[in-house]
């Protein structure tokens, strides 16, 4: 709260140089303080505080305060700068007590959460899909206060010393059984079971809601795991300033008031099952994780008589979950090929029978509904993939009331053969008896997965399908990173959620199509498998959702890449001399994860996010970087891999690469007059010499050597005195190299000419060995500042400024159609509110004030909803306040920005969607009349975007203002400076001659730096007059009669026709 000086009472001096203060006993102070009280007077004294380069005066403040309705207080020490009041130091003087938690976690000094209540699942004990049923294990009683290292060098406690429930600074955990969402009447936090303890044992053989203690045991578990993840990743950089979730950020940056809400057994009484989700709100608003109950494993059978045969089957997520049904087996066929898929109305006789249909063509639930409508009493769906087992029948259709099971392709074929050769009807009996439900709240890998969404989405702006898939993969990897232990078989199979997802089938698979493994015989997913048009690997799979591009499926590929990188890092560390400890490698990996997320652009592609992770590793350790780069390459994401376009249907367009190599790309090519300038304006003009500075980057993960650049000119007007080819030295991964090519313009270069050059980059090692870039650069011109009221956006200098949220990311001067430049305001896929602001404009007292410009725009929109857009505003008070120009004149806005997505321009009419003549420019004139007559105004072009997807944005050109008295913009003119340096005259050596002798004056030693043709003019300047003959470099005369030695002097003037 904000306490003013007037709200304090000075109690005078105290020992130790302190001065004491308390809250004033006034109505105003009591109102501002609310329930706050000082447990003892605050102590303040003057100090000198050491900064890195000097000592500064400050005030040390010791404050013991708390809520008047509580029996405890918090003690904190601060140092504030005496000159500016800024916070220099903070120390927490309160130390919380350690609490005991009965949870599934390692009972050692690290207290790492286990995967859940099952034994020996990381890695899978057999490494085969053999139906292994893991045993339950007992939880442990863990004593912990917290273990992160805060700026004070201490751990931040999960709970205050006087806590009575699972409501701490980092996490608020509770069972959210009842509506509305959030903690409300009927919901449960775990409460102390005894002094300093949450000692509840979850009974794995009882229903999740069997008793209050059962519920509080689950809440305790999720409170523990989410706090553990908070502290682990805090020490890897996910701190307050990085946007983590905390009730109080303790003065360390970021926005507080957003504790992590961990909702256990969410909507258990409302029926939500078999899922979990994460609302990863931005910093300052609490993220919300919802953990659901899961269907338990069941007893089921599928038997056929008179064969007396039993078939392995799988169950459906839709339809009845408990049943016993018997009926004659019959093929379910429709009238459209392939007839056996039951994707249309079934025309074969299945009334009162069990329909046998094939997988494929439509959803599982659609097949069951079609069979039900034809009168079937049961449905068997045969797989259409070899060696793929009986698939889990995913889907949701409340209208399906007919039991459904699945069988493998091989068993389906056997049933069809038996049906075709049967002498008597085959009768099928299908049964299912579910067991107790399982609580996803105590499956720590599910909790870690959802927590992974939160850390990812707090670091990376993410609104595309590809980024959403990466988020699913990040969630899986956070769980894998938590689950892997020192000494584990690194080639083993690592399933996730084997406890919660037991009903989905064999524990070997967990919740995914395959367990995670660096063994390609267990998990052969590579980069291409994010695309729908790619066939999956030929090894055991548990496939439910059929499309590879579905976010969970495509996310498995990202997690497989990251797991490959983690295992490679462990092996690399173990191979060092001396070996690096497992815990050090484990910490490094999470450091690289957090830094890689921070370095990623908005909506990164797979290869962009790969590069961000690798850049984080490269900044720390070359060996780590190389090991991880090679691991990505093993999964098809090597240097030359290409991600799909962000809008690619089915994530098609992947190009795989299995090698680590360099890649060359142009960063910049700049032209200057640094080698021989006539006017030193930085612009290359006729007769001047300069350089083309070429900067390239190695975008690959291997060193680049032998790269060259060569420039091809237009064939006249430009020369390269030292040759047009340069070489670069060795360039490390992700580093840049620079080389310069000397260039000279001829005297005859046209004014304001567009110089067209072709730049060729070559490297035999690179993914693209030859890369040609077309360069168009304007030369031979000058800029005249303050010479126009129209900005053509062509000058080097500018008087416009950029301001607002993400201003520098949104606005820039860019090439339109080369070399024409435009102002470009990008429609970001993240929250932004950025303006391009004009210089002051002095409006005429009498003329009409008219704004003109050419523009085109393409802002995010869908189905008539305008998510992003732009407005034009004007200020008459130096930018203190702004109003829309639409209040005075119509700028031609196309619609209203929606209020549904948090756009800063929500509900305002704006330029939205696509401009009328897109991609051509539209010309706009906004006549503001005399509304601003005699005033100095500024105009701004303002772009507002929401947190979701972006688009091309807005381009502006030829922005002009009529009816203004000043000319704030520069213009281009022909170069006026001359490089002509003039000839050097040389009249020859002095001569001694006799009377009557023919004398020759010789100026042929004169020269011209441009080698222009010279003309000569001789005159006599002293002595008796003589007649000079000749009009060239040489002139002659006859030495005159003289009575004594006499000096004659002559002068020659040399001209090149200009000087």
Please write the tens of the pLDDT for every residue from 955-969.
999 999 999 999 999
Tell me the C-alpha distance between 746 and 645, whole Å. Answer: 45
DSSP conformation class of 446 = H
At residue 663, the pLDDT reads: 96
**What separation in angstroms does the CA of 758 have from each of 342, 685, 752?**
61, 19, 19
Say how many C-beta atoms besides its own lie within 10 A of residue 29's C-beta.
17
In the predicted model, is pLDDT for residue 94 greater than 70? no
What's the topology of domain 664-775?
Answer: Immunoglobulin-like (2.60.40)
Tell me the C-alpha distance between 264 and 450, whole Å. Answer: 12
Phi and psi at 897, nearest 5°, equal -75, 135
Summarize the confidence of residues 430-458 as an average pLDDT.
Answer: 95
Tell me the C-alpha distance between 591 and 600, whole Å. Answer: 14
E-state strands within 859-980: 861-862, 865-866, 869-875, 883-884, 895-896, 909-910, 922-927, 936-945, 951-962, 969-974
Banded model confidence at residue 816, pLDDT cuts 50, 70, 90: low
Tell me the C-alpha distance between 76 and 91, whole Å. Answer: 6
- Single out the residue of 742, 732, 643 nearest to residue 690, CA to CA: 742
Q: Which residue has the higher pLDDT, 603 or 1025?
A: 1025
CATH of 99-294+450-458, one of 3.30.465.10, 3.90.660.10, 3.40.630.10, 3.10.170.10: 3.10.170.10
Residue 694 token pair: 């070429």
- Single out the residue of 615, 600, 705, 631 nearest to residue 662, CA to CA: 705
Phi and psi at 719, nearest 5°, equal -130, 160
Tell me the C-alpha distance between 675 and 256, whole Å. Answer: 56
In the chain the first and final C-alpha atoms are separated, in Å, by: 78
In the predicted model, is pLDDT for residue 976 greater than 80? no
For the entire predicted model, the pTM comes to 0.71
Hunting for tokens 């069941």 — which residue is that?
A: 298
Is the fold of 664-775 the same as that of 785-974? no
| Cβ proximity of 278 and 453 under 8 Å | yes
Tell me the C-alpha distance between 229 and 445, whole Å. Answer: 12
Q: Helical H runs in 377-440?
A: 409-421
Banded model confidence at residue 545, pLDDT cuts 50, 70, 90: low
Determine the 3-state secondary structure of 740 from DSSP.
Answer: strand
pLDDT digits (tens, 9 = 90+) for 881-933: 999 999 999 999 999 999 888 899 999 999 999 999 999 999 999 999 999 99
In the predicted model, is pLDDT for residue 712 greater than 70? yes
In the predicted model, is pLDDT for residue 102 greater than 90? yes
| Cβ proximity of 728 and 707 under 8 Å | yes
Banded model confidence at residue 389, pLDDT cuts 50, 70, 90: confident
Report the interhelical angle of 582-599 vs 465-483 (nearest 10°): 160
Summarize the confidence of residues 134-151 as an average pLDDT.
Answer: 94
Q: Which residue has the higher pLDDT, 954 or 72?
A: 954
**What DSSP line would sit under 75-110, residue for residue?**
EEEEEEETTT--EEEEEE---PPPEEEEESB-SSSS
Residue 664 token pair: 């060359």
In the predicted model, is pLDDT for residue 742 greater than 90? yes
Tell me the C-alpha distance between 821 and 865, whole Å. Answer: 31
Hunting for tokens 């393409």 — which residue is that?
A: 858
Mean of pLDDT over the chain: 92
The enclosing H or E element of 207 equals none
| Cβ proximity of 464 and 403 under 8 Å | no
| Cβ proximity of 122 and 115 under 8 Å | yes
Banded model confidence at residue 413, pLDDT cuts 50, 70, 90: very high
Determine the 3-state secondary structure of 435 from DSSP.
Answer: coil
| Cβ proximity of 517 and 523 under 8 Å | yes
Summarize the confidence of residues 777-784 as an average pLDDT.
Answer: 80
Hunting for tokens 């307050």 — which residue is that?
A: 240
Number of alpha carbons in the 13 Å side-chain half-sphere of residue 1038:
3
- Single out the residue of 315, 482, 314 nearest to residue 494, CA to CA: 482
Banded model confidence at residue 71, pLDDT cuts 50, 70, 90: low
Tell me the C-alpha distance between 1032 and 846, whole Å. Answer: 65
Tell me the C-alpha distance between 303 and 426, whole Å. Answer: 10
Tell me the C-alpha distance between 1003 and 984, whole Å. Answer: 10
Cis peptide before 1007 (omega within 30 of 0): no
Query: How distant is the alpha carbon of residue 889 from its chain centre?
Result: 39
The DSSP bridge pattern shows strands 427-434 and 438-439 to be unpaired
At residue 489, the pLDDT reads: 97
pLDDT digits (tens, 9 = 90+) for 568-620: 999 999 999 999 999 999 999 999 999 999 999 888 999 999 999 999 999 99
What's the topology of domain 298-434?
Answer: Glucose Oxidase; domain 1 (3.50.30)
Which positions ≥6 away from 181 have C-beta within 8 Å?
263, 288
In the predicted model, is pLDDT for residue 336 greater than 60? yes
At residue 54, the pLDDT reads: 84
Phi and psi at 960, nearest 5°, equal -130, 160
Helix (DSSP H) and strand (DSSP E) numbers for the chain? 11, 54
Tell me the C-alpha distance between 146 and 168, whole Å. Answer: 11
Tell me the C-alpha distance between 65 and 73, whole Å. Answer: 5
Hunting for tokens 């590793």 — which residue is that?
A: 617
Domain range annotation of the chain: 5-92, 99-294+450-458, 298-434, 480-651, 664-775, 785-974, 998-1055
Banded model confidence at residue 279, pLDDT cuts 50, 70, 90: very high
| Cβ proximity of 586 and 483 under 8 Å | no
Summarize the confidence of residues 773-802 as an average pLDDT.
Answer: 88
Specify the CATH superfamily of domain 480-651.
Neutral Protease Domain 2 (1.10.390.10)
**What separation in angstroms does the CA of 68 have from each of 73, 74, 237?**
9, 12, 35
Which positions ≥6 away from 274 have C-beta within 8 Å?
292, 294, 295, 317, 503
Tell me the C-alpha distance between 320 and 682, whole Å. Answer: 79
CATH classification (class only), 785-974: mainly beta
Point out the least confidently predicted range of 467-471, 537-541, 973-977, 1018-1022.
Answer: 973-977
- Single out the residue of 911, 849, 897, 893 nearest to residue 874, CA to CA: 849
- For 551-590, b where at least 16 C-beta lie within 10 A, e where not — what string? bbbbbbbbbbbbbbbbbbbbebbeeeeeebebeebbebbb
Residue 511 token pair: 């919740």
Banded model confidence at residue 244, pLDDT cuts 50, 70, 90: very high
């Amino acid at each position: 709260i904000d306490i003013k000086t007037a709200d304090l009472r000075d109690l005078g001096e105290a020992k130790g140089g302190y001065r004491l203060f308390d809250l004033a006993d006034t109505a105003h102070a009591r109102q501002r303080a609310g329930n706050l009280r000082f447990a003892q007077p605050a102590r303040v004294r003057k100090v000198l505080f050491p900064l890195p380069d000097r000592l500064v005066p400050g005030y040390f403040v010791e404050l013991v305060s708390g809520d008047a309705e509580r029996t405890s207080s918090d003690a904190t020490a601060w140092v504030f700068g005496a000159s500016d009041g800024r916070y220099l130091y903070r120390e927490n003087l309160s130390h919380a007590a350690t609490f005991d938690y009965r949870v599934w976690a390692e009972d050692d000094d690290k207290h790492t959460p286990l995967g859940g209540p099952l034994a020996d699942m990381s890695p899978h004990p057999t490494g085969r899909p053999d139906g292994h049923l893991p045993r339950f294990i007992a939880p442990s009683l863990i004593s912990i206060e917290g273990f992160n290292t805060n700026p004070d060098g201490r751990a931040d406690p999960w709970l205050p010393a006087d806590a009575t429930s699972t409501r701490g600074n980092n996490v608020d955990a509770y069972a959210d059984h009842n509506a509305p969402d959030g903690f409300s009447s009927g919901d449960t936090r775990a409460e102390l079971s005894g002094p300093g303890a949450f000692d509840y044992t979850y009974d794995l053989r009882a229903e999740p809601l069997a008793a209050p203690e059962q519920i509080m045991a689950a809440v305790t578990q999720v409170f523990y795991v989410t706090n553990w993840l908070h502290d682990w990743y805090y020490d890897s950089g996910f701190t307050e300033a990085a946007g983590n979730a905390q009730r109080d950020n303790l003065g360390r940056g970021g926005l507080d008031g957003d504790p992590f809400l961990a909702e256990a057994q969410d909507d258990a009484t409302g029926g939500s099952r078999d899922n979990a989700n994460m609302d990863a709100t931005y910093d300052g608003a609490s993220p919300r994780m919802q953990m659901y109950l899961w269907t338990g494993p069941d007893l089921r059978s599928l038997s056929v008589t008179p064969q007396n045969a039993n078939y392995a089957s799988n169950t459906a997520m839709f339809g009845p979950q408990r049943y016993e049904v018997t009926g004659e087996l019959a093929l379910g066929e429709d009238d459209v090929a392939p007839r056996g898929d039951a994707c249309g109305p079934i025309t074969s006789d299945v009334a009162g029978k069990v329909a046998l249909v094939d997988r494929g063509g439509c959803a599982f639930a659609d097949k069951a509904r079609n069979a039900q409508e034809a009168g079937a009493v049961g449905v068997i769906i045969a797989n259409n993939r070899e060696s793929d087992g009986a698939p889990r029948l995913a889907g949701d259709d409340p209208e399906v009331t007919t039991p459904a099971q699945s069988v493998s392709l091989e068993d389906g074929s056997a049933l069809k053969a038996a049906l075709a050769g049967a002498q008597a009807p085959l009768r099928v009996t299908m049964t299912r008896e579910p067991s107790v439900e399982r609580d996803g709240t105590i499956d720590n890998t599910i909790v870690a997965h959802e927590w992974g969404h939160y850390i990812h989405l707090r670091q990376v702006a993410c609104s595309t399908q590809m980024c959403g898939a990466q988020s699913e993969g990040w969630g899986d990897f956070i769980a894998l990173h938590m689950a892997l232990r020192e000494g584990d078989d690194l080639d083993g199979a690592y399933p996730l959620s084997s406890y919660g997802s037991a009903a989905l089938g064999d524990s070997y698979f967990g919740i995914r199509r395959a367990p995670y493994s660096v063994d390609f015989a267990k998990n052969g997913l590579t980069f291409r498998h994010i695309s729908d048009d790619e066939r999956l690997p030929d090894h055991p799979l548990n496939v439910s959702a059929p499309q590879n591009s579905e976010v969970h499926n495509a996310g498995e590929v990202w997690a497989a890449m990251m797991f490959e990188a983690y295992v490679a890092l462990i092996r690399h560390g173990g191979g060092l001399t001396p070996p690096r400890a497992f815990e050090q490698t484990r910490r490094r990996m999470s450091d690289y994860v957090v830094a890689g997320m921070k370095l990623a652009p908005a909506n990164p592609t797979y290869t962009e996010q790969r590069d961000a992770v690798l850049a984080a590793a490269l900044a720390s350790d070359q060996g780590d970087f190389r090991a991880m780069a090679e691991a990505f390459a093993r999964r098809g994401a090597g240097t030359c891999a290409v991600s799909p376009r962000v809008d690619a249907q089915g994530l098609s367009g992947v190009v795989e690469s299995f090698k680590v190599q360099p890649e060359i790309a142009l960063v910049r090519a700049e032209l200057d007059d640094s080698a021989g300038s006539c006017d030193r304006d930085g612009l290359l003009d006729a007769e001047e010499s300069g350089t083309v500075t070429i900067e390239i980057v190695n975008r690959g993960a291997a060193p680049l050597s032998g790269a060259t650049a060569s420039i091809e000119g237009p064939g006249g007007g430009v020369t390269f005195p030292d040759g047009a080819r340069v070489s670069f030295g060795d360039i490390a991964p992700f580093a840049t190299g620079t080389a310069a090519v000397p260039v000279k313009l001829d005297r005859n270069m046209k004014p304001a000419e567009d110089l067209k050059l072709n730049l060729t980059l070559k490297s035999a090692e690179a993914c693209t060995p030859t890369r040609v870039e077309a360069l168009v650069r304007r030369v031979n011109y000058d800029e005249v500042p303050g010479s126009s009221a129209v900005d053509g956006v062509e000058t080097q200098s500018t008087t416009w400024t950029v301001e607002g949220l993400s201003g520098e990311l949104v606005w820039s001067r860019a090439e339109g159609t080369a070399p024409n430049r435009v102002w470009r305001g990008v429609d970001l896929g993240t929250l932004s509110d950025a303006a391009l602001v004009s210089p002051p404009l002095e409006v005429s007292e009498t003329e009409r004030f008219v704004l003109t410009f050419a523009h085109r725009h393409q802002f995010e929109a869908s189905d008539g909803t305008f998510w992003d857009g732009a407005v034009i505003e004007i200020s008459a008070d130096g930018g203190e306040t702004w109003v829309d120009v639409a209040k005075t004149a119509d700028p031609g806005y196309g619609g209203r920005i929606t209020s549904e997505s948090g756009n800063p321009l929500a509900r305002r009419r704006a330029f939205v969607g696509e401009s009328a003549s897109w991609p051509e420019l539209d010309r706009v004139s906004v006549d503001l009349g005399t509304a601003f007559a005699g005033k100095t105004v500024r105009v701004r072009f303002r772009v507002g975007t929401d947190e979701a997807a972006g688009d091309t944005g807005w381009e502006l050109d030829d922005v002009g203002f009529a009816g203004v008295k000043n000319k704030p913009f520069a213009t281009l003119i022909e170069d006026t400076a001359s490089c002509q340096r003039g000839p050097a005259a040389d009249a020859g050596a002095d001569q001694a001659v006799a009377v009557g002798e023919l004398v020759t004056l010789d100026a042929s030693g004169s020269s011209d730096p441009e080698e222009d043709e010279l003309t000569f003019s001789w005159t006599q300047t002293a002595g008796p007059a003589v007649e000079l003959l000749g009009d060239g470099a040489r002139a002659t005369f006859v030495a005159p009669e003289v009575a004594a030695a006499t000096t004659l002097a002559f002068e020659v003037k040399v001209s090149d026709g200009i000087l």
